[in-house]
Amino acid sequence: MRLNPEQQLAVQQKGHVLLLAGAGSGKTLVLAHRAASLLQSDHGDLVAVTFTHDSAEELKRRILKMSPGHEKRIRTGTFHSLAMHQLRSVGMDIKLLNKGDRIRLISHAMSKTEEELSFEDMDKIIDKAKSDLSHRDYDGPGYKTFHAYQDLLQNDKRMDFADLISKAVDGMQDGSIPPLSMRWMLGDEFQDVDLAQYTWIMLHHELTGAELTMVGDDDQSIYAFRHALGYTGMEKLRSDVRAQILHLSRNYRCAPEILTPAARLIQHNRYRAEKQIIPAAEQGGHIECLFPRDREEESAWFLTRRREDPVGWAVLARTNRLLDVMEMELQQQGIPYFRDADDDFWETKHPRAVLSLLTGIVNGARALAMPRGKNSSSLLKSTAITNRLAAYRRDMFFGCRSALFLCGWKADTTDALLKQLEPVPMRDWKPILDGFAEQWHQTEQKKSPRLSSGLNFMENLQGWCTVSVQDPILLIEGIKRWNQKLIPSVAENCTIALTAIQRLRGTLAQRIQFVEGLAKKKSEPPQLGPETVFLTTMHGSKGLEWPNVWIIGAEEGVAPHIDSELEEERRLFYVAMTRAKRQLIISAVREGSPSPFLYEAQMYDA
């Protein structure tokens, strides 16, 4: 591909360069050309740092294609993989925590210090302290738990992911860890670096004299929640090394009909670098706003449009949960899709407990339907019935345990109640439940919503088992009313799960089997064909592109999200819009108000 004048200048520019490269501007091509040019211009090694292994491998492949024979002079990798190489070069043994171990150690640290912080808050505190390099002498909220967690890591001789960079930085600063050997360093997505990563880059520059070429776009800085420096980091680099600012202004991805409104939108941000956004793709694109009644109609309209044009679709949403209804519809219609998510909704603890609870009800109904007495024609058949009944009741009690977990019961309290109930038929549970409640009140001397909601579930269980066979919708309505009494953070996810199951067809067992099939499908390697619909969040879409993009949930309070800073949200919406090459559809349900971003992009008039 022939380089345009801006790209050619970026390849040939001497000294430190900060390249402001807009969406679809060919930045990877330019980085590869510049790397090849640098390798041919002088002796020395080149290091290229990225945020993903795939982009590191792709960049290396392109560099070597343009400059063959320099394999030993090139090192590419992510920040974490390159830092790990540094640590191992001095003989450091690295055992990284997995997600489960991290949860276990944070929980252990919290139990030791008893500071009044939620697990989620403590998790964020740990990440922030390491990303801004305050980990050595952290004294902010949760400092006791933070240092207890660090002690546990040291005792287990383990590291979490963020330790790789902070330890490499500490080692370079005290001289115990050498920098990577290099004459040049290239970096991609520079707007996404945090302070620890910025410091890692600058230490390499100071210790090796490396010439820096950093590529980024402040308009695509969407990771403030991960402590990315964004425009601030780019300004800091310009000042620290007196980098030459260059631009890649031409967007070769988006049709002008799509890029022009996106550019109008992002120009409402005040804290950004001055730049042009110029369409370079051919005209003939299509952009449209639609206003369905609700999420179900939103999904139905998408399916209708996809039937007309089945190839090259992606559905983007501000949050993962907004994609649940769409995923259910695609699954029911047998349409191939891939959902790009770090976590599967149905494998998270509250939806998983809902599935277990409902499975318990299904098996409770089967237990109630089993023949009783010694009417079987043979001992063998009688034994089989007895074994099957026992299996159904085990599953039923496992569902009860899940329900009590949702209510907030402790494991020993749950065990004490279920131990009394297990040998007794459901019809005879009432006196046991009353006695348990009385014993609780005598011991605790206070009312407990957790106790009430748990006992309420157990009292209703036999009726729910019966209703589940006759009318699954009525059953789920009953469970949803019970769910409303749970604490809000639990009830919200449970409501989403119950509503999704309610929208399906078939018996309760068939609905559960259908949802379990979703999890099984996600565990298999994705088969991505041209007619596969790609489901992802706006954050997950960064760096990707599709011919046709449908953005759902473009309502005020969702996009922009109420919990995020407005300019960050505007950048996120701009990123989502610029994933589309030829067709962009944005929908906002009539239950809410359209996103103000639609007005700013001049796509919608009130």
Kindly report, residue by residue over 170-217, the tens digit of the pLDDT.
999 999 999 999 999 999 999 999 999 999 999 999 999 999 999 999
| Overall average pLDDT of the 324-329 stretch | 81
Q: Longest C-alpha distance within the chain, in Å?
A: 93
Q: What percent of the chain has pLDDT over 70?
A: 95
Dump the DSSP string for 510-570.
HHHHHHHHHHHHHHSPP---TTPEEEEETTTTTT--EEEEEE---BTBBTTBTTS-HHHHH
pLDDT range class, residue 604, cuts 50, 70, 90: confident
| Overall average pLDDT of the 332-354 stretch | 78
Q: Where in the chain is the domain with CATH 3.40.50.300?
A: 5-91+168-252, 279-336+529-601
Supply 109's token pair: 């640290």
Give me the pLDDT at residue 109, please: 87
- The model's pLDDT over 512-559, given as tens digits with 9 standing for 90+, comes to 888 887 655 555 555 678 999 999 999 999 989 999 999 999 999 999
Q: Which fold has domain 279-336+529-601?
A: Rossmann fold (3.40.50)
377 has pLDDT over 80: no
CA dist 198 and 190 (Å) reads 9
List binding-site positions for ATP.
Answer: 21-28
Give me the pLDDT at residue 521, please: 56
Give SS3 for 408: coil
- The model's pLDDT over 252-272, given as tens digits with 9 standing for 90+, comes to 999 999 999 999 999 999 999
Residue that is written with structure tokens 């694109």 in the block: 285
Helix, strand, coil share of the chain (percent; to 5): 55, 10, 30
pTM of the model: 0.75
Cis peptide before 431 (omega within 30 of 0): no
pLDDT range class, residue 325, cuts 50, 70, 90: confident
Average pLDDT over the chain reads 89
pLDDT range class, residue 492, cuts 50, 70, 90: confident
| Overall average pLDDT of the 102-122 stretch | 85
CB-based contact 587:293 (threshold 8 Å) = no
CA dist 494 and 350 (Å) reads 6
Give me the pLDDT at residue 545, please: 94
Q: Where is mean pLDDT largest: 107-111, 299-303, 412-416? A: 299-303
- The model's pLDDT over 557-602, given as tens digits with 9 standing for 90+, comes to 999 998 889 999 999 999 999 999 999 999 999 888 999 999 999 9
List binding-site positions.
Answer: 21-28
Higher-pLDDT residue of 115, 475 = 475
One-letter-per-residue 3-state SS of 473-489: HHHHHHHHHHHCCCCHH
230 has pLDDT over 90: yes
**Helix 27-41 with 53-66: angle, nearest 10 deg:** 50
Higher-pLDDT residue of 99, 599 = 599
Give me the pLDDT at residue 574, please: 97
- The model's pLDDT over 384-396, given as tens digits with 9 standing for 90+, comes to 888 888 889 989 9
Give me the pLDDT at residue 160, please: 87
| Overall average pLDDT of the 51-67 stretch | 89
pLDDT range class, residue 154, cuts 50, 70, 90: confident
Give me the pLDDT at residue 606, please: 55
4 has pLDDT over 80: yes
Quote the DSSP letter at residue 193: -
CB-based contact 254:581 (threshold 8 Å) = yes
Give me the pLDDT at residue 101, please: 78
- Phi then psi for 587, rounded to 5 degrees? -120, 145
Give me the pLDDT at residue 333, please: 84
242 has pLDDT over 90: yes
| Overall average pLDDT of the 142-151 stretch | 91
| Overall average pLDDT of the 212-224 stretch | 94
Give me the pLDDT at residue 320, please: 85
Total Cβ atoms within 10 A of residue 517: 11
113 has pLDDT over 80: yes
Q: Which fold has domain 5-91+168-252?
A: Rossmann fold (3.40.50)
